[in-house]
Structure 1
Amino acid sequence: MSKTEGVRQLVQQILDCFTSPPDEDLIDHVCMAIEANPQWSAQYHRLTEELGSQATVNNWIGRYVKELSGSKSGRSHPSKSRLTKSYRKLIIPESD
């Protein structure tokens, strides 16, 4: 199991709760969901301690959101979430 498996599991758990299709701001939506949910927030803070920094966890959140949603990275954009200053908007693949 990789060191960042806990981050992947957190992201998957959050994505599984979303009912609307993913959009370009999905990374920011995940961060805002973490802030709004005490259980996810506690898990996030445990991960920052385990992995050594908030920046490390945030980078992996972005990577796993992109990977699990099947998206590609777009341009950088200021974040609405307080967890991070900016995030990459996603390029969502078109569905058939």
Structure 2
Amino acid sequence: MTKDCNALALLVRDIVGNPFRPVTFAPSWRSDTALSLAQGMYESRDFSATPILADALQDAGCDNDDVLNHCRGPGPHVRGCWVVDLVLGKE
């Protein structure tokens, strides 16, 4: 049961992020590359490119450790990932 609870907690963190540390996402971080990567991941449900998304966001000026570390972390990453949704402007 504990393993299932841990897996569920990881999924919730991927979708919700940390509600105690909300991220203000700068529109300038939505570069063409970041948008293209996020849209591709969202449509294909293949989130293996999240570390590359972190690089694209950093290249666009993102310096938010929560965003970058989330993308570079082990996941799991699923459709509804809070960073991908921020890039795509979803709420």
Indicate the TM-score class for this superposition, using the shorter chain for normalisation. Answer: 0.3 to 0.5
Which has the higher relative contact order, 1 or 2, with Cα contacts under 8 A spaced 6 or more apart?
2
Q: TM-score, normalised by structure 1?
A: 0.33
Q: TM-score, normalised by structure 2?
A: 0.34
